[in-house]
Amino acid sequence: MKLSVSDSKRGARRADLDLVLVFEGEAPELPAKRKLAKDQLGAFQGEFRSTRLVADSEGGRVCLIGLGKRDALDLERVRRVGALAARQAESDAAS
């Protein structure tokens, strides 16, 4: 499995799966060229450790992972969300 990290505001390379971290109550910042319909987000609000896997219009996959409230973010939360992201990427590669 190959992981890479990039800034969503820059032109990121096309990937099989994009992991997008989202603060609670905020809209996700999707990588360039990823387009999702509003109904695909459903009730995803970015609660801590919540996930939602959706397909974009070109068949690529986006996994949204909730960070929780912005003011509650600390290193432990980052560690736990990072582990969840790695687990999601591994399980996606296996399927």
CA–CA separation, 26 and 15 (whole Å): 24
Instruction: Look at the pTM and tell me if it is higher than 0.85.
Output: no
19-44: per-residue pLDDT in tens?
899 999 998 988 877 888 778 878 89
Reference 51, options 15, 76, 16, 87; nearest CA is 87
**Per-residue pLDDT tens for 57-73?**
778 888 999 999 999 99
Burial of 65 (0-12, 13-18, 19+ CB in 10 A): buried
Distance CA(69)–CA(4), nearest Å, equals 25
> From the centroid of its chain, how far is CA 61?
10
Average pLDDT, the chain: 84
